[in-house]
């Protein structure tokens, strides 16, 4: 069933306009009576098409329920900036696995060092489009946000507001993922390094502000493998698979 997203919804007057209406009427060639799902803030609204005009699609509400694909925790992935093709892949798979927000972080060992203004103007719209497409494909109830690139200090300030944060550091030490303890946590952060990993001082700075140092064994994972592995384990541990 086709899925469409909105930030505001009036249950008595559900209308899709713009590109969504165009997609329904022209690309999908849907007709009155067919069903679509409208997602708003984690709730799925199952609707039938009442009528279609050149500018809008008018829907009739059938039922609504919390999106079953949405985790019961909000997960922010703090990803040290890798090369752009890797970042695109990480965003796509992280959204599929249940991340609620992806924050690109510029750390010392990042090989890719895009200009912040260029990143915001040229790259960020594409990255959010990838997140939107992945959300639709995987049946999410929200479109996870890809934020603008931030510094390490800005990322740490964001982490301090979360219930739990884990940092994956390639040096031995810390604890296993299962020892962190996510009971009662509603917001969780995962901090992953770039191709060059973390500088020791960066890792220590994150730990000093409350992040738990975690390692995934003796094999060093690629920067695009680590977030997928970490999110998969987190979703399993919190019964969100």
> Of 11-15, 19-23, 177-181, 223-227, which gets the smallest average pLDDT?
177-181
The domains of the chain, with CATH numbers, are: 3-66 (2.40.240.20), 74-237 (3.40.1280.10)
- Residue 158 clears pLDDT 80, i.e. is over it: yes
CB neighbour list of residue 188: distance below 8 Å, 6 or more residues apart: 73, 74, 75, 76, 162, 163, 164, 165, 166, 182, 234
pLDDT band at 178 (very low <50, low <70, confident <90, very high): confident
Q: What secondary structure letter does DSSP report for 179?
A: G
Q: What is the pTM of this model?
A: 0.89
CB-CB neighbours of 158 under 10 Å: 18
pLDDT at 172: 62
């Amino acid at each position: 069933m086709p899925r469409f997203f909105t930030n505001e919804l009036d249950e008595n007057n559900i209308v899709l306009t713009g590109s969504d209406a165009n997609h329904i009427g022209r690309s999908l060639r849907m007709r009155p009576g067919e069903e679509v799902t409208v997602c708003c803030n984690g709730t799925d609204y199952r609707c039938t098409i009442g009528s279609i005009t050149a500018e809008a699609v008018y829907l009739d509400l059938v039922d609504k329920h919390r999106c079953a694909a949405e985790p019961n925790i909000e997960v922010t992935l703090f990803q040290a900036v890798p090369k752009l093709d890797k970042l695109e892949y990480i965003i796509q798979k992280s959204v599929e696995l249940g991340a609620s927000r992806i924050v690109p972080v510029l750390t010392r060992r990042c090989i890719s060092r895009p200009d912040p203004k260029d990143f915001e103007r040229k790259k960020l719209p594409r990255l959010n489009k990838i997140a939107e497409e992945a959300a639709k494909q995987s049946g999410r109830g929200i479109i996870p946000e890809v934020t603008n690139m931030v510094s390490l200090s800005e990322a740490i300030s964001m982490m301090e507001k979360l219930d739990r944060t884990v940092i994956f550091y390639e040096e031995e030490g810390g604890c296993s993922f299962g020892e962190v303890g996510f009971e009662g946590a509603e917001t969780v952060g995962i901090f992953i390094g770039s191709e060059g990993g973390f500088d020791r001082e960066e890792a220590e700075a994150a730990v000093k502000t409350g992040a738990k140092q975690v390692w995934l064994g003796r094999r060093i994972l690629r920067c695009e493998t680590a977030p997928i592995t970490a999110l998969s384990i987190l979703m399993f541990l919190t019964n969100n698979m």
